[in-house]
């Protein structure tokens, strides 16, 4: 009798446990992945693992975050975030994380001007003052094209003004603050990256469209191109998935970045984006979608200076050739609390984009390493090309 008394409950316990395990398994299978946006293509397993190692090595320097997006022939093969979008909240970086993209914002000014030229509203080789006649006359006349290729003669600028947002309230105030400044060289004799020149492109677009620069970029470019995670960096808005901005102090410790408002220099520094959105844009440009052939030639043709030197700058873009002679179109930007990188290899159908929530030099970021990993997979070099000495010995 005792065996029956004690064995019956035990049998029920085993049955209950089995049912509980089954229900838990079914529930677990029905749950969505923690982050369905993460893409890890098995065909590129080795490249992704080595790319992760490069990012982890980069993140040893502090508790910030990196998001990466890689596409090959129009297909995203790697999209992931590593590190922290917000370290204090222990919020991990992800493909949805929005970062300050710094000077990569300047491509939107160039694209807006190209679009206006396609609509017959301007000619980039005309004088800037033809369309904005109230702009003060300088000692040299410069064209819209000079502004887009950074050859108008304006001095190099930095982002120190972002630290004093109370001094300048909008784009027009920023431009008017330099009304009386002289050009430092005749147009197209040298090239010098100037945020002021990009802001003048913004003023030109506002003048022709009678809209604020953020609004016209939203309507003309972002909405049409489907860049739904790219937006003006408005510190007053509650923005989902916005990364906390960080900076380094004089002994390289990670600190909270100071508060800034970059809306008054929106054509130069003012946008947030994700690595995925930048990659999406890169794919559209690589496939020559949306813009006309004239505009693509404008973007991706190097400017020739008066002395015959061919610079690395097109209209709003940088054009490089790597050591193997492969053409690459580059956007790279850094500002207080954020950095970005976008590389388009049109012949290899490869687009690589990275964003991080700390101000950093592009050469310090693992972007070149990651691009090289995928280039080696897509277009592997012969042993002789990898080791020039071997060729000489033969």
Which domains occur in the chain, in start order? Answer: 39-381 (3.40.710.10)
pLDDT for res 22: 34
Low-confidence ranges of the chain (pLDDT < 70): 1-34, 158-161, 163-167, 382-394
Largest separation between any pair of C-alpha atoms in the chain: 111
* Residue 355: count of CB within 10 angstroms of its CB: 33
pLDDT for res 252: 84
Cβ partners under 8 Å of residue 29, min gap 6: none
pLDDT for res 5: 36
Number of H helices, E strands in the chain: 14, 13
Supply 39's token pair: 């893409």
What is the crossing angle of helices 45-59 and 367-378, to 10°?
A: 170
d(CA 99, CA 355): 6
Residues 171 and 207 sit within 8 Å (Cβ to Cβ): no
Cβ partners under 8 Å of residue 340, min gap 6: 99, 100, 101, 102, 104, 273, 278, 331, 332, 333, 334, 353, 354, 355, 356
Residues 387 and 359 sit within 8 Å (Cβ to Cβ): no
pLDDT for res 208: 97
pLDDT for res 25: 36
d(CA 330, CA 322): 12
Cβ partners under 8 Å of residue 83, min gap 6: 55, 59, 63, 64, 65, 66, 92, 93
């Amino acid at each position: 009798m005792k065996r029956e008394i004690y064995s019956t409950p035990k049998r029920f316990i085993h049955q209950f446990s089995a049912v509980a395990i089954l229900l838990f398994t079914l529930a677990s299978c029905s749950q969505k992945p923690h982050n369905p946006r993460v893409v890890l293509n098995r065909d590129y397993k080795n490249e992704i693992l080595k790319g992760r190692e490069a990012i982890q090595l980069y993140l040893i320097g502090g508790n910030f975050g990196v998001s990466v997006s890689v596409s090959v022939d129009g297909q995203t093969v790697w999209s992931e975030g590593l590190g922290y979008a917000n370290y204090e909240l222990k919020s991990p970086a992800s493909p949805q994380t929005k970062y300050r993209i710094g000077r990569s914002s300047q491509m939107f000014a160039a694209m807006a001007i190209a679009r206006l030229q396609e609509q017959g509203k301007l000619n980039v080789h005309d004088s800037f003052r033809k369309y904005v006649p109230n702009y003060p006359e300088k000692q040299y006349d410069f064209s819209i094209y000079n502004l887009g290729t950074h050859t108008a003669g304006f001095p190099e600028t930095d982002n120190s003004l972002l630290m004093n947002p109370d001094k300048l309230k909008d784009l027009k105030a920023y431009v008017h603050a330099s009304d009386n400044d002289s050009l430092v060289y005749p147009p197209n004799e040298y090239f010098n990256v100037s945020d002021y020149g990009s802001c003048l492109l913004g003023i030109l677009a506002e003048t022709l469209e009678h809209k604020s620069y953020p609004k016209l970029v939203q309507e003309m470019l972002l909405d049409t191109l489907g860049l739904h995670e790219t937006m003006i960096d408005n510190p007053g808005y509650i923005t989902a998935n916005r990364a906390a901005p960080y900076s380094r102090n004089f002994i390289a410790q990670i600190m909270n970045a100071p508060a800034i408002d970059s809306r008054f220099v929106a054509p130069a520094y003012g946008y947030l984006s994700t690595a995925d959105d930048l990659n999406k844009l890169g794919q559209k440009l690589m496939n020559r979608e949306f813009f006309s052939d004239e505009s693509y030639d404008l973007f991706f043709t190097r400017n020739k200076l008066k002395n015959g030197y061919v610079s690395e700058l097109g209209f709003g873009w940088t054009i490089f050739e790597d050591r193997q002679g492969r053409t690459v179109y580059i956007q790279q930007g850094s500002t207080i609390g954020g950095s970005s990188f976008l590389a388009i290899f049109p012949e290899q159908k490869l687009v690589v984009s990275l964003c991080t929530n700390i101000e950093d030099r592009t050469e310090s970021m693992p972007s070149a390493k990651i691009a090289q990993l995928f280039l080696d997979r897509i277009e592997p070099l012969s042993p002789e090309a990898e080791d020039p000495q071997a060729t000489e010995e033969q």
